[in-house]
Amino acid sequence: MHLKVLYFAQLREKFGLAEEAVQAPEGVRTIADLMQHLAKRGGVWQETLDGQYAFRVAMNQEMVSQQTALIEGAEVAIFRPVTGG
């Protein structure tokens, strides 16, 4: 599955990356699967995405849950809880 993954604020700085194209292997079907797939890169990816650290995920610019099924070609954004206003 092809996905465009965006990182904002703290996560963009931690990963040193604002966006990337991700080719997820078969078996990666939900947001939680994608987080595990990215966490397998180890280091800061694992520390951030393995569930110990709070973050939110949006798919195609709508907030989604860990159980949400991924959509082919989707834009997935990962970020810390928001602090506007």
Partner 1 sequence: MSARLSVAVQSEDFDLRHEHQQLVQNDHGVGAVVAFIGMVRDLNLADDVVALELEHYPGMTEKSLMNIVQQAESRWSLQAARVVHRVGKMYPGDQIVLVLTASTHRGDAYEANSFIMDYLKTEAPFWKKEWTPEGPRWIEARDSDDLAAARWAAQQPTPNP
Q: Which residues bind partner 1 (CB under 8 A)?
A: 6, 8-10, 54, 58, 61-63, 77, 79-85
- Smallest separation (angstroms) from partner 1 to the CB of 77: 6
For 2, residues 6+ apart whose C-beta sits below 8 A from its C-beta are 21, 22, 23, 24, 72, 73
Q: Distance between CA 76 and CA 70 in Å, rounded?
A: 9
Quick one: 6 or 36, whose CB is closer to partner 1? 6
With respect to partner 1, which residue has the nearer C-beta, 1 or 58?
58
Residue 25 CB, shortest distance to partner 1, in Å, is 27
In whole angstroms, what is the distance from residue 39 CA to residue 49 CA? 6
